[in-house]
Amino acid sequence: MIRLENIRKTYESPGRISHALAGVDLHIRQGEIFGIIGRSGAGKSTLIRMLNLLERPTQGKVCVRDQDITQFTEAQLRQYRHQVGMVFQHFNLLRSRTVLDNVCFPLKLAGMARAERLRRAHEVLALVGLTEHAAKYPRQLSGGQQQRVGIARALANRPEILLCDEATSALDPETTQSILRLLLDINKRLGLTIVLITHGMDVIRTVCDRVAVIDAGMIVESGEVLDVFLHPRHPVTQSLLSESGIDAEGWRDMAQGIGGTLIRLSFRGEATVQPMLSRASRELGLDLSILQGSVSRIKDTPYGQLVIAVQGDPQGQEKLNGLFAQEGVEYEVLRP
Ligand code: ADP
C-alpha cells in the first residue's frame, strides 16, 4: 500500500549538513500495523513525516497505492491528507476547545457540514470510549484520555492510514497498554493501516505485525516481529531488545564452567506450551539444564526461547534435534 523508494532527506544549515534519511526503502502492507523503531536521532520522525509529506524528501519516491505523492498537486495533496490521520506524542489538542470541538475541528477545516461533523465526532468518541467526556476541556482529562481524543480526532475523517508519532511515549506503562489495546482494536475493526514510530520494543511486541529498525537514517533490519525478536541480526536491534529485557545473549555468562552441548530452542505458537524438555530427558536419557529462558507474546502469538546445556547419552543427543523438529521447534547449536 505504501512504498518508499530510496528516500533521502538532507538538512542543511550553515556549516552543517545532516543526512536524516540516507536511502530508505520500505513497503507497508494494507491493513497491517507497521512499527519503525530506533534510537533518538535515528530518523524516525523524519521518516513518518514523509508519509503525509509534512517533510518532503530531498530525493526518492513515496508511493501510496502506486501513486507517487511527491508529484501531487496542492489539491491532490489536500485530498490525500484527508485519508491519513496522525496521532502525536504530546496530543496537540486545542486547550480552549472542548473534546467535541477538538474532534470536529479538522472536519470543519475539510468543509464538512455541521450536522455531519457532529455525527462523525460522536461516532469516533464512542469508538475510543469518551462519549461521557465530550463537553469537557483537555485539562480536565488524564493523559490517556487526552490521547484518546487525539486518536478520535485522527479517525474522524475516516482515514485509511493512521500515523502514530511516539503516541505512547508521554504515558505511564498502564495507560500505554490501554492506548495500545485501542490501536489494536481500531486496526481490527476498521481495517486501518497503522504506521507507528517508537523507541520501545514493548510497543512493537504488543501491537506490530512487522517492524523496521532504523539507525543513522538507514533501515538496518526489518521483517515479521516474531522473526526479528527471535533472531535479531543487527547490533542495534540486539541492544534495543536487551534494554527492554529481551536479551538473547544472556546465556553467555551462565555458560562458563558448564559442560555439554549448548543449544538454543526457539518456539512460537502452540509449541510453546508443549512439555518437551521433560519428554526429551525421559525418552532420550539426557540431562538438560536451562541457562536462559523467556516466554512471552507477540500480539496474540506466544513465543519463547530457551538456551539449554545437554549432557548424557551421545545417541540420545543425536536424536534430540529430530524430536524438537517434530514439534516445530527451531534448534540451533550454540556450542558443540
Ligand atoms: P528521531 O525521530 O529518530 O529522533 P529525527 O528524524 O527527529 O530522529 O532526526 C534525524 C536527524 O535529522 C537528527 O540528526 C536530527 O538532528 C536531524 N534533523 C531533524 N529535523 C531537522 C531539522 N528540521 N533541521 C536540521 N536537522 C534536523
Q: Are residues 227 and 325 in the same domain?
A: no
The per-residue pLDDT for 296 is 85
Share of the chain above pLDDT 70, in %: 98
Domain boundary (243, 259, 281) is at: 243
- Predicted confidence band of residue 180 (pLDDT cuts 50, 70, 90): very high
How far apart, in whole angstroms, are the C-alpha atoms of residue 40 and residue 5? Answer: 23
323 with 276: CB under 8 angstroms?
A: yes
Q: Are residues 263 and 324 in the same domain?
A: yes
Q: Which residues line ligand 1 (CB under 6 A)?
A: 11, 18, 20, 38, 40-46
**How many A from CA of 207 to the centre of ligand 1?**
26
Q: Are residues 153 and 269 in the same domain?
A: no
pLDDT in tens, 73-86: 999 999 999 999 99
Judged against a pLDDT cut of 80, whether residue 248 lies above it is answered with: no
Q: Are residues 264 and 145 in the same domain?
A: no
pTM: 0.90
- 166 CA: nearest ligand 1 atom: 2
How many structural domains compose the chain?
2
How far apart, in whole angstroms, are the C-alpha atoms of residue 145 and residue 282? Answer: 54
pLDDT in tens, 27-48: 999 999 999 999 999 999 999 9
pLDDT in tens, 192-243: 999 999 999 999 999 999 999 999 999 999 999 999 998 899 999 999 998 8
Query: For ligand 1, atom 13, which residue shows the shortest CA distance?
Result: 41
pLDDT in tens, 251-270: 787 778 888 899 999 988 87
Q: Are residues 162 and 20 in the same domain?
A: yes
How far apart, in whole angstroms, are the C-alpha atoms of residue 280 and residue 318? Answer: 12
Class of residue 180 by CB neighbours under 10 A (exposed 0-12, middle 13-18, buried 19+): buried
Judged against a pLDDT cut of 70, whether residue 274 lies above it is answered with: no
Alpha-carbon distances, residue 302 vs 14, 174, 205, 211 (angstroms): 51, 21, 11, 18
Mean per-residue pLDDT of the chain: 92
The range of the structural domain enclosing residue 205 comes to: 2-243
Q: Are residues 158 and 109 in the same domain?
A: yes
For the domain that residue 117 is a member of, what is the CATH number?
3.40.50.300
- Predicted confidence band of residue 272 (pLDDT cuts 50, 70, 90): low
The per-residue pLDDT for 273 is 59
Q: Are residues 163 and 282 in the same domain?
A: no
Query: For ligand 1, atom 12, which residue shows the shortest CA distance?
Result: 20
Contacts of 254 (CB under 8 A, 6+ apart): 291, 292, 307
Q: Are residues 153 and 207 in the same domain?
A: yes
Share of the chain above pLDDT 90, in %: 71
For the domain that residue 308 is a member of, what is the CATH number?
3.30.70.260
Q: Are residues 53 and 99 in the same domain?
A: yes
Q: Are residues 235 and 258 in the same domain?
A: no
Residues recorded for the chain: 336
